[in-house]
Structure 1
């Protein structure tokens, strides 16, 4: 029986003789499952219907009307001419909503990410119905029960009211916003736009934060953002000090008639939109709805700051500061909805 020689038996195997070991299929699958999966957020956009593009055009038209309304006379109240464009700061505050609305309207009219623009238009319309009724009250029946009001930073008494071109253009702008929202609602079900569902795992958290911000915003709106401070009067004979309360501007729910109905509708719309916005699909629709809420609430907060700074008779209030904080909170929610990416649990397992 032949035997191998020693050198041949002791020779180390060469590189060519070595066969790399292959991992088993079980190890490969386990390693693949344990590897982190990058969230996929592919947006699929179908044919954009004509009503959706028309809604974008109406958003642009409403924004243009709102900008033009800043410069003519708004109202003549009790002999005082009121105009929103008192100074550069007033103009900048008043331009916030029109500029954002015009930008979103252009994107929607072009047919890009349509449900983003449709969600913005629908939310903006819901938030415009209340202010539209309040404006109709100011221009038509506010003299039936004269009261102190703050209009564009002016403290006035509504003993007599004459409407100006600025009021007419402002009312037309709000009406066009409402019409754009109606078209957006009509086009929503006919518009195809889907994504990978990367926002789904955090929608409940966004909804909870939205409810808190909505309720907080409504509570802040129930009191004026800028009010007349109380005066302390000292009796010269007794040196006793007493607090004299001065009549200040009316809060959202203190006005009668159409204005009261408008205030209730605005409060309800803020809470309802805050609840519904995080549930909209796809993710960019949630971003659009939250953006509309953010600019509306932030505009209300900045308006209170403007009124307090432009009049020596008014001071900024705690509810006014709360409105500003709520507006910044909505901005934060909008950014989170835009930037958050999470892999759905069905894809992880």
Structure 2
């Protein structure tokens, strides 16, 4: 490992700032929808879910800021920033332009109609956190070629297998994101005139690619980034860089899956769906690949 350039430490500092902004965003009012104040964290369990991404950002950013195993941190920041770009567009749509085409959404565990939305400080801090993450990713990519860090190449014979598994998980993740992870169950009602039972379908939340404009562009970017990062992460060198890239994908997918679990558990109006279970399964799969890439150094 050579001298760590200053630009790599800048990427770590940006990641730390993104973590602090993301943690601060969990507790103030997120959005005000129809006069109802929504918060990302309104209990212990929801706080743990909301703080998962900031906690990992803080740890990895701190390690990178110190100049320890820099390509691990740079790979994490680069992948996290790439994935955060799509999330940033979706968040801007939610807080600014979703009222142009009102629809049912699941926001902070509540089923709401986006006919009138006011952005709260939690939303502003969340957008700042995502913007800083995107910036950290761009700086990390710029610092990659200037940072020297190599190993003995013990992982190289197994990289193709890791990449194949990661691509399969990436495609499955995108297919799971294409449908809502939580939905409104159908109601069974009795017709008072005939006494027959009927199934009444209720309008559920919009899927990732059903939203218009900026949200649609963000959804497409997010889907493409997941597949692209699944291909690139296992091929990064040295081995710890592959671990960092896979860790970033793992955190992003697990955070989305656990948010769906939180929403379904917090509301009696919502139920967890098969795509939501698929997201959780792929998140666990990415976590296993990350652990495998890390532990294979002993092979």
The verdict on a shared fold, with TM-score over 0.5 as the criterion, is yes
Deviations 1:211-235 (A, max 9, x none): 0000000000011111100112222
In structure 2, the residue matched to 1:318 is 274
C-alpha deviation, 1:188, in angstroms: 0.2
Task: Name the larger-Rg structure.
Answer: 1
In structure 2, the residue matched to 1:275 is 231
Contact 1:283–1:337, Cα closer than 8 Å, also in 2: yes
Contact 1:93–1:303, Cα closer than 8 Å, also in 2: yes
C-alpha deviation, 1:342, in angstroms: 7.5
Are positions 1:176 and 2:132 aligned together?
yes
Of Structure 1 and Structure 2, the greater helix share is in: 2
SS of residue matched to 1:141: helix
CA distance in 1, matches of 2:54, 2:155: 28
Contact 1:80–1:156, Cα closer than 8 Å, also in 2: no
Are positions 1:222 and 2:164 aligned together?
no
In structure 2, the residue matched to 1:76 is 32
In structure 2, the residue matched to 1:232 is 188
Contact 1:211–1:271, Cα closer than 8 Å, also in 2: yes
Q: CA RMSD in A?
A: 1.0
Which 5+ residue runs of structure 2 have no aligned equivalent? none
In structure 2, the residue matched to 1:57 is 13
Superposition pairs of residues 289-304 of structure 1, within 5 angstroms: 289-304=245-260
In structure 2, the residue matched to 1:257 is 213
In structure 1, the residue matched to 2:90 is 134
The normalised TM-score by structure 1 is 0.84
Superposition pairs of residues 1-349 of structure 1, within 5 angstroms: 45-341=1-297
- Of the structure 1 ranges 255-264 and 226-235, higher mean CA displacement relative to structure 2 is found in 226-235
C-alpha deviation, 1:241, in angstroms: 2.4
Deviations 1:315-337 (A, max 9, x none): 11111111011100000000000
CA distance in 2, matches of 1:298, 1:336: 17
Total equivalences in the alignment: 299
CA distance in 2, matches of 1:145, 1:173: 26
C-alpha deviation, 1:72, in angstroms: 1.0
